[in-house]
Every structure is written in structure tokens, then in C-alpha cells.
């Protein structure tokens, strides 16, 4: 049992971007910097980070909709294996509350079920509703989730043959105010340009993907502190999606390709302007779980410096989500690497040890 195991973690403990210690201990499943009297049962050595955050991940979901508990467990274990020990679930039709009772599975911060416009999202995923019902559904999912609500902000409009915004400004403004009143933050899936200004001016807290950011909207995001979770490993699939839709929706296809072509510039420009950027994979729809290291590598590829790309999945992401890192007394969720991830974020792909709630699980 974790309660009786004393773990000694030594080497370089990366407590924060500017704070490095030589060692920590785990006693009773929690981090301490006071050497315990008992000799350690286990010693691990290397470069230690707080458990990684996958800020956009779907547990309990696959390409066709909700999955059974055994499949959801497998997904969560795949995330754990790469060291993703805190997941912001960006929308799921499954009830995965049982995971909260499992000390051996990653912690999940839920956004309830996606809220989309009728026939404007992937089948079997979302509540599909019209704007007049938006406030009521947002209130409902705010109560069901763990402090987040997820909207689908834009999607292909088959009549227009292109991506268009899903929600009128007045309704979305009222819905976001209602979520905030209930203590929940709101995020939205947005690929295109045209929904962003309304959502940000309506008070939204975060945008997923955010491929449609432009030099007009980036300053607005920066000024209001609206975060983005680019999910570049998912954006990588745009050309394939564009090919598939080409014959029926050529305009949409071209649009998707443009968003894809400028994706790294978009992320880099947002970062340079001071927009908070976090690492999320969008695992669980069509993408596999366990891709958070690949996403951090993509953030680096976009030009984000290594320490900030790491922060997007560790220190910064945990602060943003209101969860502790490696401070005294925090649950011992940490990942140990054989080399310094600040020198090369590529080391995230092969953790030496994964410790969750004080137990070595990988
Ligand atoms: Zn998603």
C-alpha cells in the first residue's frame, strides 16, 4: 500500500521552471522535502517532472461514441504509461466517475458532455441542440463536470460548404455567464476564424485547436488571457480530412488545408503575443491515447522554447487547472527521466519511472 511505502527520488527534481532540487521523498503517497526517519523502500534516480498534463483528451470515447469501462480503463492506462497523470477531459458522453476511485489511474478533470449544434458534430458524441436551449445545457453540464464546459464553436455547415460559427453571440454570452455563475470555465472547439471574436468577447476561458487565430484575434486572446490548446497532433490529420471531403465540400477542404499550412506560425504567433498555450492531444476520438510527449515535441517544432513547451504540460498547465505540482504535501504524481527534458523534450517519449499517488506504476 502506498501509505507504508517510502520512496526516495533523487537526481534533479524540476519543481518549477526556475526551481531545481536534489531530492524529494514520498511518504504516505505525498511529496515531502523533509528526509523521513524510515529508510526508503524504493529509490529512483533521474530528472523528475510533475505528472504530465494532457489538457485535451477524451476518456471513454472512440471514433463511434461512448465505449465500455474496460476500454476506458485501457485508454487511461495508455495515458499513464507516457506519464500523463492529469487529464482535462474535453468532453465525453460516458460516465467515467468510477475512475476517481481508482488510485492507479490518472486524475481526470471533466468538461461533461460536448454541447453542439444540431447535426453539426461527430455522431454520438454531443448533446445536439439549438441556441434557445444553450443556457440550460451549459448549466446542466457545468453541474456534471469538474469545473469545465465544452462547446463546439464551429463545424462544417453543409449548406455553406465550409466551417461556420455555431452559436449566435447573445446566447453564447448568456451561457458563458451562467457557467461562470456556477463556477465552471468554458472552452470551445474552433477550427476556423469567424467564431473566435464573439466567443472571446462573450467571456470564454479557452479555445481548443484555435487554428483560425489571426493577427486580428491574437491580441484579443492575449489581452483577455484566453488560453489555447492547439492539439497539433490532431491538426496533423487535416490534410487527410481535406482529401476525404474534397469532392463534396471543396471550399471546406481548401479552408482546412490553409489552416493546416499555417498551424505552426499560428501557435508561435499566439505564444509570442503572450497567449497561454497548453499541451493537449485530442486522444479518444480518432486519435490514439498516450500522445502527450508527441504534442510537446510539436509545440517545440512550432518554435516554443523547451522550458515553456514543458511548462505547457507540467508547471503552467497544473497551475492553470488549479492542481498542485511537486510542492510539499502534494499527491506524489511524478515522472522520472534518464536525461534532462529541458535540453531535449524528446526524452518525454521514454519515461524511466512513472509514480502515481506515491506508487511506482511504470
Ligand atoms: Zn476533442
Quick: pLDDT tens for 96-149. 999 999 999 999 999 999 999 999 998 889 999 999 999 999 999 999 999 999
Q: Kindly give the distance from the C-alpha atom of residue 89 to the centroid of ligand 1, in angstroms, as a whole number.
A: 8
Closest CA to 193 of 166, 165, 169: 165
Give the cell for residue 121.
458534430
How many degrees, rounded to 5, is the angle at CA 141 between CA 140 and CA 145? 130
Q: Kindly give the distance from the C-alpha atom of residue 153 to the centroid of ligand 1, in angstroms, as a whole number.
A: 12
Give the cell for residue 333.
504524481
Q: Kindly give the distance from the C-alpha atom of residue 188 to the centroid of ligand 1, in angstroms, as a whole number.
A: 10
Fold of 52-321: TIM Barrel (3.20.20)
Per-residue CA distances from 211 to 117, 160, 176, 206, 236 (Å): 20, 20, 22, 13, 11
Q: Kindly give the distance from the C-alpha atom of residue 331 to the centroid of ligand 1, in angstroms, as a whole number.
A: 27
Q: Kindly give the distance from the C-alpha atom of residue 340 to the centroid of ligand 1, in angstroms, as a whole number.
A: 30
pLDDT for residue 1:
45
Q: Kindly give the distance from the C-alpha atom of residue 101 to the centroid of ligand 1, in angstroms, as a whole number.
A: 24
d(CA 80, CA 292): 10
Per-residue CA distances from 74 to 59, 99, 111, 283 (Å): 9, 12, 20, 13
Question: Structure pTM?
Answer: 0.97
Q: Kindly give the distance from the C-alpha atom of residue 9 to the centroid of ligand 1, in angstroms, as a whole number.
A: 35
pLDDT for residue 252:
98
334 Cα distance to chain centroid: 17
pLDDT for residue 2:
46
Q: Kindly give the distance from the C-alpha atom of residue 198 to the centroid of ligand 1, in angstroms, as a whole number.
A: 21
Give the N- to C-terminal CA distance of the chain in Å, as an integer.
Answer: 16
Q: Kindly give the distance from the C-alpha atom of residue 5 to the centroid of ligand 1, in angstroms, as a whole number.
A: 37
Q: Kindly give the distance from the C-alpha atom of residue 228 to the centroid of ligand 1, in angstroms, as a whole number.
A: 13
Tell me if 6-49+325-360 shares its fold with 52-321: no
H helices present in 231-291, as ranges: 232-235, 238-245, 250-261, 263-273
Q: Kindly give the distance from the C-alpha atom of residue 193 to the centroid of ligand 1, in angstroms, as a whole number.
A: 18
**CB of 25 closer than 8 Å to CB of 8:** yes
Q: Kindly give the distance from the C-alpha atom of residue 189 to the centroid of ligand 1, in angstroms, as a whole number.
A: 7
Query: To which residue does cell 486572446 refer?
Result: 221
Per-residue CA distances from 257 to 95, 100, 236, 246, 271 (Å): 35, 40, 10, 11, 22
274 CB-near residues (< 8 Å, 6+ apart)? 222
Give the cell for residue 26.
514520498
Q: Kindly give the distance from the C-alpha atom of residue 38 to the centroid of ligand 1, in angstroms, as a whole number.
A: 45
Q: Kindly give the distance from the C-alpha atom of residue 150 to the centroid of ligand 1, in angstroms, as a whole number.
A: 9
Q: Kindly give the distance from the C-alpha atom of residue 56 to the centroid of ligand 1, in angstroms, as a whole number.
A: 6
pLDDT for residue 230:
98
**3-state per-residue secondary structure call for 96-135:** CHHHHHCCCCCEEEECCCCEEECCCCCCCCCEEECHHHHH
Q: Kindly give the distance from the C-alpha atom of residue 91 to the centroid of ligand 1, in angstroms, as a whole number.
A: 7
Q: Kindly give the distance from the C-alpha atom of residue 66 to the centroid of ligand 1, in angstroms, as a whole number.
A: 13
Question: What are the average pLDDT values for consecutive 10-residue runs of the chain, which has 362 residues?
Answer: 78 96 97 95 97 97 93 97 97 94 97 95 93 98 97 96 97 98 98 98 98 98 98 98 96 98 98 98 94 98 98 98 98 98 98 97 95
DSSP state, 217? T
Q: Kindly give the distance from the C-alpha atom of residue 20 to the centroid of ligand 1, in angstroms, as a whole number.
A: 34
Spell out the domain ranges in the chain.
6-49+325-360, 52-321
pLDDT for residue 191:
98
Q: Kindly give the distance from the C-alpha atom of residue 285 to the centroid of ligand 1, in angstroms, as a whole number.
A: 7
Report the 10 Å Cβ neighbour count for 62: 15
Counting every residue written for the chain, the total comes to: 362
- Phi and psi angles of residue 223, each rounded to the nearest 5 degrees, phi first: -60, -40
Q: Kindly give the distance from the C-alpha atom of residue 201 to the centroid of ligand 1, in angstroms, as a whole number.
A: 23
Q: Kindly give the distance from the C-alpha atom of residue 28 to the centroid of ligand 1, in angstroms, as a whole number.
A: 35
Q: Kindly give the distance from the C-alpha atom of residue 45 to the centroid of ligand 1, in angstroms, as a whole number.
A: 35
Q: Kindly give the distance from the C-alpha atom of residue 44 to the centroid of ligand 1, in angstroms, as a whole number.
A: 35
- Superfamily for domain range 6-49+325-360: Urease, subunit C, domain 1 (2.30.40.10)
Amino acid at each position: 500500500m502506498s501509505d507504508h511505502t517510502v520512496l526516495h527520488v533523487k537526481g534533479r527534481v524540476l519543481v518549477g521552471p526556475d526551481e531545481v532540487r536534489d531530492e524529494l521523498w514520498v511518504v504516505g503517497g505525498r511529496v515531502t522535502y523533509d528526509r523521513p526517519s524510515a529508510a526508503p523502500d524504493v529509490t529512483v534516480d533521474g530528472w523528475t517532472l510533475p505528472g504530465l498534463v494532457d489538457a485535451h483528451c477524451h476518456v471513454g470515447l472512440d471514433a463511434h461514441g461512448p465505449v465500455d469501462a474496460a476500454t476506458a480503463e485501457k485508454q487511461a492506462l495508455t495515458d499513464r504509461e507516457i506519464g500523463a497523470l492529469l487529464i482535462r477531459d474535453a468532453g465525453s458522453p460516458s460516465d467515467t466517475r468510477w475512475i476517481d476511485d481508482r488510485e492507479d489511474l490518472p486524475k481526470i478533470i471533466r468538461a461533461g458532455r460536448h454541447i453542439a449544434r444540431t447535426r453539426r458534430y461527430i455522431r454520438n458524441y454531443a448533446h445536439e441542440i439549438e441556441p434557445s436551449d444553450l443556457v440550460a445545457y451549459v448549466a446542466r453540464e457545468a453541474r456534471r463536470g469538474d469545473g469545465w464546459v465544452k462547446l463546439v464553436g464551429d463545424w462544417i455547415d453543409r449548406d455553406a460548404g465550409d466551417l461556420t460559427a455555431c452559436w449566435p453571440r447573445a446566447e453564447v454570452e448568456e451561457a458563458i455567464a451562467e457557467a461562470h455563475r456556477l463556477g465552471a470555465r468554458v472552452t470551445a472547439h474552433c477550427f476556423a476564424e469567424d467564431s473566435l471574436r464573439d466567443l472571446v468577447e462573450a467571456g470564454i476561458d479557452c479555445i481548443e485547436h484555435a487554428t483560425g487565430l489571426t493577427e486580428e484575434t491574437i491580441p484579443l486572446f492575449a489581452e483577455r488571457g484566453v488560453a489555447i490548446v492547439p492539439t497539433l497532433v490532431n491538426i496533423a490529420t487535416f490534410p487527410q480530412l481535406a482529401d476525404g471531403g474534397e469532392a463534396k465540400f471543396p471550399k471546406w477542404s481548401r479552408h482546412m488545408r490553409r489552416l493546416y499550412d499555417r498551424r505552426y506560425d499560428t501557435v508561435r504567433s499566439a505564444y509570442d503575443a503572450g497567449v497561454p498555450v497548453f499541451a493537449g492531444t485530442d486522444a479518444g476520438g480518432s486519435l490514439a491515447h498516450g500522445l502527450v510527449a508527441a504534442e510537446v515535441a510539436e509545440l517545440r517544432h512550432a518554435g516554443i522554447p523547451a522550458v515553456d513547451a514543458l511548462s505547457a504540460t507540467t508547471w503552467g498547465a497544473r497551475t492553470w487547472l488549479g492542481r498542485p505540482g511537486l510542492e510539499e504535501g502534494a499527491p506524489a504524481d511524478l515522472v522520472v527521466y534518464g536525461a534532462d527534458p529541458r535540453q531535449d523534450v524528446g526524452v518525454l517519449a521514454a519515461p524511466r519511472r512513472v509514480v502515481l499517488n506515491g506508487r511506482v506504476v511504470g
